[in-house]
Structure 1
Amino acid sequence: MVIKDMPGRLEYQNPNPLRAQPRTVIFVAYPQMGLLDLTGAHTVFWAATRNLNQLGLPGYTLHTASVAGGTVRTGEGLVVQTRRLTDLVNEPRDTLIVPGSPHIRQAIVDNASLIDWLRLASTTANRTTSICSGAFFLGCAGLLDGLRVATHWTMADQFERAFPQVKLDREAIYVQQKSIWTAAGVSAGIDLALALVEADHGRKLAMQVARHLVVYYRRPDNQEQWSPLLQSQYLS
């Protein structure tokens, strides 16, 4: 997707006229998942779709699905309605997104069938991604071996013990390695989603979405997960 500046507006040109269908994003839900891990990224794709649809162009089809379907209670206590993952068997899998959980150790134990699903589904997905401690699910599915990845800074020691064959980048906001994308904690899911939108539709659209959401389009290069600025604010 190429976007060029026009007087008073943006004009979007699709370099691939065969791409007439929206891209499908499947958010993989499970009990005790982090709410903002899900909704932050979801809102980015929603905003991108709104911009594209206004110009008559396809955006994203968004699904939130779990193993059993129905309602899923997040770690923060709010309830999310989901479809069954098996109901999406005939849907294209452009992007899979696995949110993290404040109770990731128990979530892994309770969701062995989800790990099996991810292992299989990732073979046909264009991109498999995680937000925050969702990287533990990808690691348990064997999708991260030999790759550099990101996760929440508070989970770093635990992650390295669990997956010694994976190179954890403790400072990264998000990392792309081949078709695998991983993000740091919580709000970093917004950064990840903006990067995915940019990969699909270009920098201009990603910037418009970031502007709408009043967030950084791209954080400063020296921004660390637990930056000196945050440390000074915490200690003051």
Structure 2
Amino acid sequence: MGLLDHTCTQTVFYAANLYLTERGLPGYTLYTASMDGKPAPTAEGLVVQTRRLSELAQDSIDTVIVPGSPQIRQAMADNVALLEWLRVTATHARRMASVCSGTFLLAQAGLLDGLRVATHWLMADMFERLFPQIKLDREAIFVQQGSMWSSAGISAGIDLALALVEADCGREMAMQVARRMVVHYRRPDNQDQWSPLLRSQYPS
């Protein structure tokens, strides 16, 4: 698992909860879960504590966010039980989302067929080879197709989570969260992954 693929979305919802609590409104209840409930190592070397997915009431889950992994091919092969859990949960949850190569797991679970999706640009070729039945948008930083949300790599998870907060709580709340997190600019979903600002700073 990529550390920022996980923590970028968690931080957005944590920040939203601070404002929601101030207003006396119910906030997000956040869980980090895995099939075995064991500590999950990240690619960067830190370890994230998890709880068993079986401890969660599957029919009460509102939103599932699947983080990415640099070893996504191995993750798909090793997580057959997780894929089945995703299939079943998708029939109950209000929405399913992914960050970076987490889109591969939603695709492998058969949840994205015929939909337009996003993933990290470095993995675009592999995604199209593995899932020709899915319409990959190579440029978008995040995509919503009904109850399915997907995003490009790492920091794009912040844009995705801010969009989820806006859908739940309104634009004002999303902007307050963005300001608290010192987000320079709220990028729209169709923002090119290779941003014009970054391109202008790239050595020629």
Structure ranking higher in helix proportion: 2
Question: CA offsets, 1:113-153, max 9 Å, x none?
Answer: 11111111111000000000000000000000000000000
Residues 222 and 229 of structure 1: CA distance in aligned 2, closer, same or farther (over 3 Å): farther
Question: CA offsets, 1:16-68, max 9 Å, x none?
Answer: xxxxxxxxxxxxxxxxx110010000000000011010111101000000000
The answer to whether the 8 Å contact 1:206/1:217 transfers is: no
Residues 121 and 156 of structure 1: CA distance in aligned 2, closer, same or farther (over 3 Å): same
What's the offset of the Cα at 1:71? 0.7
Counterparts of 1:8-47 in structure 2, within 5 Å, are 33-47=1-15
1:80 aligns with 2:53: no
Aligned partners of 2:41 and 2:78: how far apart in 1?
14
Q: Which has the larger radius of gyration?
A: 1
**TM-score, length basis structure 2:** 0.95
Q: Structure 2 regions of 5+ residues with no counterpart?
A: none
Aligned partners of 2:51 and 2:59: how far apart in 1?
12
1:145 matched to which residue of 2? 113
The answer to whether the 8 Å contact 1:207/1:217 transfers is: no
What's the offset of the Cα at 1:217? 5.4
**TM-score, length basis structure 1:** 0.82
1:202 matched to which residue of 2? 170
The answer to whether the 8 Å contact 1:149/1:175 transfers is: yes
Instruction: Tell which deviates more after alignment, 140-149 or 108-117.
Output: 108-117
Counterparts of 1:165-176 in structure 2, within 5 Å, are 165-176=133-144
1:211 matched to which residue of 2? 179
The answer to whether the 8 Å contact 1:211/1:217 transfers is: no
The answer to whether the 8 Å contact 2:101/2:120 transfers is: yes
Quote the sequence identity (%): 68
Instruction: Tell which deviates more after alignment, 141-150 or 99-108.
Output: 99-108
